[in-house]
Homo-oligomer: A and B are copies of this chain.
Amino acid sequence: MACEERVTFCGGTQMTRPQDADPATPVHCRACQVRHGGLCEVLDPSELVRLAGQARRTRHGPGETLAIESGEVGYANVTRGAIKLSRVLRDGRQQVVGLQFAPDLMGRLFSSESPLSAEAATEVELCRIPRSVLEGLVADSERIKLRLLAQSLRDLDAARDWMVTLGRKTAAERVASLLLLVATRTGVADGAGQLALELPISRADMADFLGLTLETVSRQISRLRHDGVIAVRGHRSVVILSLPALEARAG
């Protein structure tokens, strides 16, 4: 799966995709280790020109809050790293409602009814598109509307999938499900055909995503390690030793 053809740009950075791929689907290029499929890829040259001067690339460190929902920014394309979307109860209990990886498109035209907070989980690069610019593009471009619709439907499916995890799975299954989710989005096959991944979030955030406590998350990870399903280096680096075993434990 070489990285070639249909070269497009997002905020000045070159992005590519295989010629025969469906433009709506993100493509992971193993050669260059980048996933493609951002908003920029559905723009035609004239639209890209319009966007080029307006879109700004920004970088953010772990823990930094991103004011996506404020007036400042309309949408943002995640081009590197992972972002944590969460919602808090008045008494401080927190639930992470989504993780966004490259090349997800974040934010929305009409602000959310239930405000989310977005925070950089890792070192993050965004391609920010001011609300006014995007609204102009949306008015003109058919494909952008469909891209926005497709992204929100993808997010909806992901949210509903996770509802099953939160409502009906055991702690062990939830942790396995999270590892699989991260592996699917960011995992890379190493030499031995095993999947390696970097956890983008702390044990505490994992707990807030899984509806558990951080102690329970830690115990389940230890158990997977002791059972030989995964190997862990440091606290963030995981290698999936047996994908079938992990899938079996994910429910």
Name A residues whose Cβ lies closer than 8 Å to a Cβ of B: 85, 87, 89-91, 93-95, 97-98, 108-110, 112-114, 116, 145, 148-150, 152-157, 159-164, 166-169, 208-211, 251
Contact = CB atoms under 8 A, between A and B. Distances in A.
Contact of A211 (B159, B161, B166): B166
B167 A95 contact: yes
A152 B151 CA distance: 10
Contact of A154 (B113, B116, B145, B251): B113
A135 to B, nearest CB: 12
A93 B162 contact: no
This chain: how many copies in the complex?
2
A161 B114 contact: yes
Contacts of A149: 109, 145, 148-149, 152
Contacts of A91: 251
A94 B145 CA distance: 34
A167 B210 contact: yes
17 contacts: A87-B161, A87-B163, A89-B164, A93-B169, A93-B251, A97-B164, A98-B160, A112-B153, A113-B157, A114-B157, A149-B149, A152-B153, A152-B156, A155-B156, A156-B159, A167-B210, A168-B211
B153 A108 contact: yes
Nearest to A146: B145
Given A87-B160, A155-B156, A160-B159, A167 B114 contact: no
A208 B114 CA distance: 23
Sorted nearest first, the 8 A-B pairs with minimum C-beta distance are A167-B211, A166-B166, A159-B159, A97-B160, A95-B164, A93-B168, A95-B167, A166-B167
Contacts of A85: 160
Nearest to A210: B167
Contacts of A156: 152, 155-156, 159
Contacts of A112: 153, 157
